[in-house]
Amino acid sequence: MGHSRAYPVFRTTDAAEAYARAGRLVALLERLDDTVFVEAEVRTVAEARRLAALLPEPAADPLEPVSGEHLPREVDVARAEDAEIEAALPLCLSGDVPVGTLGEDLLRALGQGTASVDWHGRWPDDRDTGRPGSHQYDGVQLVFHGEDVQGAERTPHHTVFVHLDKREDLTRARGLAALVGGEILGDVQIGW
């Protein structure tokens, strides 16, 4: 067991620019999984409806800790009445989406909360070092309104990360970042 190493390689306050830059990195993957994982914080019924329309069978989990008698009921955001969704807010909606089905509609669906889009795949073998890509750890992540892979703290920035096997080093991350006009923007983080 382990985790990927996640390197922040691009940051902006323009969500469309961040999404485009992430897309350029995704295009560099030698292999791409069939689905993309999307997770987003929703605080209004409208946000929940917009996002649920994009996610086949979204999971809806409480965003804030709950205890005692106020345990939330499971809510099927795609089919629930507005009042039932309102009573369950704030929520974290998540789900897998087939590759190639997301686009600008995702940007319109997201609210002001943090969100993450994860493309898992495999980077091509590194010709300079001879190291192979990793089916388990490689990929691209875009965190909306966040500067860390967990999206723990809301910021005005959107950050693109490259994920690499833990045996890789900063050199490979720098090389990938440079291919899309990016650079390493901070310390490595524990990824997926």
* One pLDDT digit (tens) per residue for the chain, 192 residues: 579 999 999 999 999 999 999 999 999 999 999 999 999 999 999 999 999 999 998 999 988 765 555 555 578 998 899 999 999 999 999 999 999 999 989 999 999 999 999 999 999 998 877 788 898 999 999 999 999 999 889 999 999 999 999 888 799 999 999 999 999 999 999 999
> Do 163 and 121 meet the contact criterion of CB atoms below 8 Å apart?
no
- Length reported for the chain: 192
> Do 85 and 77 meet the contact criterion of CB atoms below 8 Å apart?
yes
pTM above 0.95, yes or no: no
> Do 191 and 3 meet the contact criterion of CB atoms below 8 Å apart?
yes
Residue 66: what pLDDT?
58
Is the Cα torsion angle 161, 165, 166, 171 positive or negative in sign? Answer: negative
Beta strands (DSSP E) in 43-89 are: 59-62
> Do 117 and 37 meet the contact criterion of CB atoms below 8 Å apart?
yes
Residue 65: what pLDDT?
62
Residue 69: what pLDDT?
53
Residue 89: what pLDDT?
93
CA–CA distance from 32 to each of 25, 60, 174 (Å)? 11, 26, 21
In angstroms, rounded to a whole number, what is the distance separating the alpha carbons of residues 185 and 24?
Answer: 18
